Structure formats: structure tokens, C-alpha cells
């Protein structure tokens, strides 16, 4: 777990530096709501995407800090107050991300698509794009199944569903830690996997949106 935690921490540091470019960003270009897509203050869809992405990334970073404390517990002992504090921050972040993505979906479903953007999604050369950027085939194929049908809102529904799953799994960890019971390692692996899967899914979407816009 130590090597995995270090790897993801490095990736997250890079992600924070590219905050405005990851986890579904530029998806607002696919909607024709009469907003200026280049000004977040004037475009609530853009604002909600950025808010959701920022909270998701922060929550993921906080979870890595939680894993770091778990990793060192055998050497340093267990400080349950510290674990509770970090876990509460992690949960708060993912709940805030859930809220932002849910609000985005509610607005998106009543906002017409931009026909030219959707047409570009349907005709996009996904196979070449995946090969060029060496993307994870399994995660990318799930994204492509939505975009080839022009189901842009479905992308954000997928991300929302993953935030909901993470929140539920974190809740099971919290129920143990709040009782000063050491969390089960398998559920921590599962949470880490869902975070990573959702992060790459959102990043791949942002890469495609950025290429099309």
C-alpha cells in the first residue's frame, strides 16, 4: 500500500496544479444555455463542474492522507482522533462534490445540447485518441459508450454515481473509526479503486472536451 499511496499522491499533486483541466472540465461547451462558456461567473454549468472537480480532488487527496496514517499505524500507533479528523474532511469533500454534480445534472437535463458539440462527439475518432494518449482501455470504453451516443449528461451522471459509491463506502469506514476500531484494509482498497477509476474517467472526458471545444 505504501508504494501505491506514494504514486497516487504524486499524481494528485500534478492534478491540483492542473485543477481547471481535469474531471469533466469543459463539458459546459456541450450545452446551449445562452451563457458565456468562457466566464465561470456567467455560466452556472461551468461553475458547478469546477466546484465538483475541486471538491473531488481535495477529497481524494484527503483520503490518501488517511491511507498514509493507516500505513504508518503499525510503527507509530493509532491516533483515532487524527483518523477521525482526516476521514471527516474526506467525507465532507466527497459530499460537496456530490452536491455540485447533482446540481449540475438537474440544470443540464433542462438545458438544450449544443448541436455542433454533440455532432463532434458522435464523429470523434476515439480509437486513435486512446492510442495516441495511451489511455486505460476499460475506463475509456465506458466513457466512449456514452459519448458516441451524444449522452453528455450521462458522463456526469456516471461521475455522480461514483461519488455516491465513495460516500457510502467511506461511511462504513467511519462507523468503525468512530468506535475506535481499525478499518478493514479490503474496503480501503475498494475505495481507492473507485476514486482512481472515477478520476481517470473524468480526466479522459476533460481531455476529449478540450480537444473538441
Region of 77 please: left (phi>0), alpha (psi -120 to 50) or beta.
left
Instruction: Print pLDDT tens along the chain (213 aa).
Output: 444 444 444 444 444 333 335 565 678 889 986 566 555 557 889 889 999 999 999 999 999 999 999 999 888 889 999 999 999 999 999 999 999 999 999 999 999 999 999 999 999 999 999 999 999 999 999 999 999 999 999 999 999 999 999 999 999 999 999 999 999 999 999 999 999 999 999 999 989 998 887
Q: Is the Cα torsion angle 114, 117, 123, 126 positive or negative in sign?
A: negative
pTM: 0.85
Residues 6-37: b if buried by 16+ CB within 10 A, e if exposed: eebeeebeebeeeeeebbbbbbbbbbebebeb
Amino acid at each position: 500500500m505504501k508504494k501505491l499511496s506514494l504514486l497516487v499522491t504524486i499524481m494528485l499533486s500534478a492534478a491540483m496544479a492542473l485543477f481547471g483541466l481535469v474531471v469533466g472540465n469543459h463539458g459546459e461547451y456541450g450545452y446551449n444555455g445562452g451563457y458565456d462558456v468562457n466566464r465561470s461567473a456567467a455560466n452556472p454549468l461551468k461553475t458547478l463542474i469546477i466546484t465538483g472537480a475541486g471538491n473531488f480532488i481535495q477529497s481524494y487527496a484527503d483520503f490518501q492522507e488517511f491511507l498514509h496514517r493507516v500505513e504508518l499505524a503499525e510503527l507509530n500507533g493509532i491516533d483515532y482522533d487524527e483518523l477521525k479528523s482526516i476521514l471527516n474532511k474526506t467525507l465532507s469533500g466527497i459530499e460537496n462534490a456530490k452536491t455540485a454534480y447533482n446540481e449540475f445534472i438537474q440544470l443540464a437535463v433542462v438545458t438544450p445540447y449544443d448541436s455542433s458539440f454533440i455532432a463532434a462527439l458522435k464523429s470523434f475518432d476515439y480509437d486513435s485518441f486512446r492510442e495516441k494518449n495511451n489511455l486505460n482501455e476499460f475506463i475509456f470504453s465506458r466513457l466512449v459508450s456514452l459519448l458516441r451516443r451524444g449522452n453528455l449528461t450521462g458522463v456526469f451522471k456516471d461521475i455522480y454515481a461514483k461519488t455516491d459509491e465513495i460516500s457510502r463506502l467511506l461511511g462504513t469506514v467511519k462507523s468503525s473509526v468512530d468506535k475506535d476500531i481499525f478499518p478493514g484494509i479490503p474496503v480501503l482498497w475498494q475505495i481507492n479503486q473507485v476514486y482512481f477509476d472515477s478520476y481517470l474517467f473524468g480526466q479522459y472526458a476533460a481531455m476529449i472536451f478540450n480537444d473538441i471545444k
